[in-house]
Amino acid sequence: MSTKIRFLVLLVCLVNCKDVPKSNGSNGIDRIVPIQYAKGFTVEKSASDITVIKITSPWPNAETEYTYALVPKEKLPTITLDNNGYDAIIGTPVESIVVTSTTHIPALESLGVLDKLIGFPDTQYISSKSAGRLIDEGKIKELGSNETLNTEMVLALQPELVIGFSINARNKSYENIQQSNIPVVFNGDWTEKSPLGKAEWIKFFAPFFHKETVAEQIFTKIVNDYTEAVEIAKKAETTPTVISGAMYKDVWYLPGGESWAAQFIEDANANYLWSNTLETGSLSLSWESVLEKGQNADFWIAPAQFTSYRELEKASGHYMQFNAFKNRKVYTFSKAKGETGGLLYYELAPQRPDLVLKDIIHIFHPNLLEEHKPFFFTPLE
C-alpha cells in the first residue's frame, strides 16, 4: 500500500465456525463457510472439493464483484468448469505467489506459507523479520511499486497466483498479467469497517493453501482475546475523551466515526469526539474545528507520522494548544518500525486487532491491564 493511500485510508459472541450444510443448488455449492465479521468476501464449497471465493468489496464503492474457483490440482484434469462463470480458476495448493500489500504478509506468515511468496512491490515497506530474511536471501524479489508493478519481472517469475490490491478497476499491470495466463485475485481487506472484519480475511488466504483449519484456529483465538479485552474495558470507572490524526498541509485528517480506528476507541471504553460522524474512512477538517471540539480531550492517539513532541511543535504551533499535548498524553504507532523502516502497524495491526485494542485500553485505563506490554502504541518522546 503506498504512503499516500496509507495516510488517507488510516462485541459479539463467537459462534460455531464449522461449515454449515446448504442444499445443493444449480451451481453445485452445498456448504457455506461462515464469515462472521468481514463483509467483503464469501467462501463456498462443493461436494467435488471446489472452493468458490467471491469478492464483493474489492475497493470502496465497487460496482463489480469477482468470483474465483479454487480446484485441487489433482482434480483439475477431471473437472470441467465454465470459464465464463469465474474471473479465474486456480489450482491448489498454490506453491508460488505474489502479493501486493503489506497487510497480506501477516496472513501468509501465520498460515506457515510465507516461503511461497516470491515477489512483492516496495519490499522496503515490509516489517516482518521472517520476510526480511527471505528478501535478503533473494527469495522474495522486488517488483517496483503497486501503482507501477513491474510486469516484466512478474512474468519472469511465473507465480501461480497474484493477489492484487487496487483502488479501482483500472490497473493496466494486472490486465497484462492476466493476459499472460497468470491469475490475479483481488483482496479488499482494507475496505472492512471493523477490526475483526479485517482480521477475518485470513480465511480468504487459507483455501489457496489448504490451510482452512489453521486459519479457523488463529481467528478464533483473535476473536476470543479481542472480546475478552472488550469486557475488561467495560470495568473502567472513567470514559476519557479522545482525539486522533494530524494535519497534512492545512487539513487535519482523522478517522471517521464508522471507521475501524474509531471502533477501537469505542471498544476500549473511551469517547472518540467524532464518533457520531458517518464516514468509514477519514475526515478532512480545519485545525480550527478540531481545536474547538478537541482542545480539552484527555488523550490524543495516532498523530500521523509524528514520534516526538518536538516534531509536533516544529510542524505547527497549533498543536501546542491541545491539553493532550500540554499534559503529555499523545501516543503514536509510528515508532514501531521494521528493519527497513516500514511501520509495523500498517502491516500487522489489521491481522492482530486484539493487540491494538489491548494497547489502547492500557493507555486509557492503565489500571485494567497493568501487565500489558505495549506492542504498537507508545508515548511520544
Domain assignment present for 212 = yes
C-alpha cell at 346: 500498517
C-alpha cell at 132: 526480511
Domain assignment present for 275 = yes
Do both 276 and 218 map to the same domain? Answer: no
Residue after which a domain boundary falls, among 223, 245, 269 = 223
Domain assignment present for 186 = yes
Q: 378 pairs with which residues across the strands?
A: 332
Mean predicted confidence (pLDDT) in 82-109: 92
Domain assignment present for 68 = yes
Do both 67 and 174 map to the same domain? Answer: yes
Query: In a 10 Å sphere around its CB, with 0-12 CB exposed, 13-18 middle and 19+ buried, how is residue 171 labelled?
Result: buried
Do both 257 and 208 map to the same domain? Answer: no
Question: ∠ at Cα 156 (55, 174), nearest 5°?
Answer: 30
pLDDT in tens, 274-333: 999 999 889 999 999 999 999 999 999 999 999 999 999 999 999 999 999 999 999 999
Do both 196 and 81 map to the same domain? Answer: yes
Separation CA 228–CA 230 (nearest Å)? 5
Domain assignment present for 228 = no
pTM: 0.87
pLDDT in tens, 180-196: 999 999 999 999 999 99
Do both 213 and 244 map to the same domain? Answer: no
pLDDT at 27 over 60: no
Answer whether 361's CB lies under 8 Å from 340's CB: no
CA-CA distances (angstroms) from residue 157 to 76, 121, 338? 23, 13, 26
Q: Say how many domains are in the chain.
A: 2
Residue after which a domain boundary falls, among 171, 190, 223 = 223
Separation CA 161–CA 372 (nearest Å)? 39
CA-CA distances (angstroms) from residue 26 to 46, 70, 134? 11, 18, 45
Domain assignment present for 57 = yes
Separation CA 337–CA 375 (nearest Å)? 11
Do both 217 and 253 map to the same domain? Answer: no
Residues 6+ away with beta carbon under 8 Å from 11: 196, 226, 227, 230, 267
Separation CA 294–CA 201 (nearest Å)? 34
pLDDT at 36 over 50: yes
Q: For residue 172, what pLDDT is reported? A: 84
For residues 272, 276, 281 and 283, what is the CA-based torsion angle, rounded to 10 degrees? Answer: -80
pLDDT class for 85, splitting at 50, 70, 90?
confident
Do both 304 and 277 map to the same domain? Answer: yes
Look up the domain containing 177 and give its range: 3-10+16-223
Domain assignment present for 229 = no
Q: Helices 353-364 and 212-233, interaxial angle, to 10°?
A: 10
Do both 209 and 281 map to the same domain? Answer: no
| Side chain identity at residue 201, one-letter code | W
Separation CA 353–CA 375 (nearest Å)? 11
**What percent of the chain is modeled with pLDDT above 70?**
92
Do both 63 and 84 map to the same domain? Answer: yes
Q: For residue 250, what pLDDT is reported? A: 87
Do both 214 and 246 map to the same domain? Answer: no
Q: For residue 31, what pLDDT is reported? A: 85
pLDDT at 263 over 80: yes
Q: For residue 29, what pLDDT is reported? A: 66
Average pLDDT of the residues of the chain: 89
φ/ψ region of 299 (left if φ > 0, alpha if ψ in -120 to 50, else beta) reads: beta
Is the model more confident about 105 or about 171? 105
Residues 6+ away with beta carbon under 8 Å from 242: 265, 270, 271, 272, 273, 297, 298, 299, 300, 301, 364
pLDDT at 11 over 50: no
Q: For residue 274, what pLDDT is reported? A: 96
pLDDT at 81 over 80: no
Task: Report the range out of 25-29, 64-68, 206-210, 338-342 with the highest average pLDDT.
Answer: 206-210
Do both 146 and 270 map to the same domain? Answer: no
Residue after which a domain boundary falls, among 174, 191, 223 = 223
CATH number of the domain bearing residue 277: 3.40.50.1980
Q: What is the DSSP letter of 96?
A: -
Do both 218 and 293 map to the same domain? Answer: no
For residues 186, 348, 335 and 380, what is the CA-based torsion angle, rounded to 10 degrees? Answer: 100
Domain assignment present for 20 = yes
pLDDT class for 12, splitting at 50, 70, 90?
very low
